[in-house]
A and B are shown apart, each in its own frame.
Chain A
């Protein structure tokens, strides 16, 4: 199956700083999503981005499908951005199973 690797595993930022989170995947994908898991365990959809670039407020994401990586950018970070960020990918096929990376734990300090 597909392999999804995220880096760095942990990230500590001062409030207001910018950051880039990386996701590498091992195969061509039909689905690539970024999630934020908050301290209550909820998985928040950030982006559906199998290719191209999207922006939503202070967050943006870029996926270069031909090179099999995706980047999540967080600008002007806030303490509420803390949590675990997951990248997940799915291959083509009937089962839309997402394979998740191990996550990146982000701590934003005031």
Chain B
């Protein structure tokens, strides 16, 4: 079954404690991306990657890092989380580059920073 898997699904953490949200896809997709969803602001892109070792900033990259060492994995790293990073996070992947083809989303990760 085609899947984008995120972990953890739910997390409460404290300000400043580094955390990583993992993302893995089993569809051999070249393109992967992270979004955050906030009330009144909708979904916004954080970072994206067009292939292994190729990453670039989206609309709201501040406070986040990513890496793409393997095709299937695209972790989101919060080096020093702050309460304004409390959000619902989605990882997404797509075959190929360019905007054609269906984008598949993971189930979401609810992150609360206190």
Do A and B associate with each other? yes
A residues contacting B by CB (< 8 A) are 29-31, 33, 35, 41-43, 45, 48, 50, 86, 88, 90-98, 100-103
Alpha-carbon gap, A90 to B96, bound state (A): 14
Choose among A31, A35, A97, A101 the residue that contacts B100 (Cβ–Cβ < 8 A).
A31
Q: Are B50 and A48 in contact (CB under 8 A)?
A: no
Q: Across the two chains, which residue of chain A brings its CB closest to B108?
A: A41
Q: Are A33 and B102 in contact (CB under 8 A)?
A: yes
B residues contacting A by CB (< 8 A) are 31, 33, 35, 37, 42-43, 45, 48, 50, 56, 58-59, 88, 90, 92, 94, 97-105, 107-108, 110
Choose among A41, A86, A100 the residue that contacts B110 (Cβ–Cβ < 8 A).
A41
Given A41-B108, A42-B108, decide whether A96 and B42 contact each other with a Cβ distance below 8 A: no
Q: Across the two chains, which residue of chain B brings its CB closest to A95?
A: B48
Chain B residues, CB < 8 A from A45:
102, 104-105
Give chain B nearest CB distance to A2 CB in angstroms.
Answer: 10
Chain B residues, CB < 8 A from A102:
42
Choose among A31, A42, A91, A101 the residue that contacts B103 (Cβ–Cβ < 8 A).
A31
Q: Are A43 and B108 in contact (CB under 8 A)?
A: yes
Alpha-carbon gap, A31 to B33, bound state (A): 15
Chain A residues, CB < 8 A from B56:
95
Given A45-B105, A97-B33, decide whether A30 and B90 contact each other with a Cβ distance below 8 A: no
Given contacts A90-B103, A91-B99, A94-B98, 10 further A-B contacts (CB under 8 A): A30-B98, A33-B103, A41-B37, A43-B90, A93-B99, A95-B50, A95-B58, A96-B94, A96-B97, A96-B101
Give chain A nearest CB distance to B45 CB in angstroms.
Answer: 5
Given A94-B50, A96-B48, A97-B58, decide whether A48 and B102 contact each other with a Cβ distance below 8 A: yes
Given A43-B108, A96-B48, decide whether A90 and B101 contact each other with a Cβ distance below 8 A: no
Give chain B nearest CB distance to A30 CB in angstroms.
Answer: 4
Q: Across the two chains, which residue of chain B brings its CB closest to A91?
A: B99
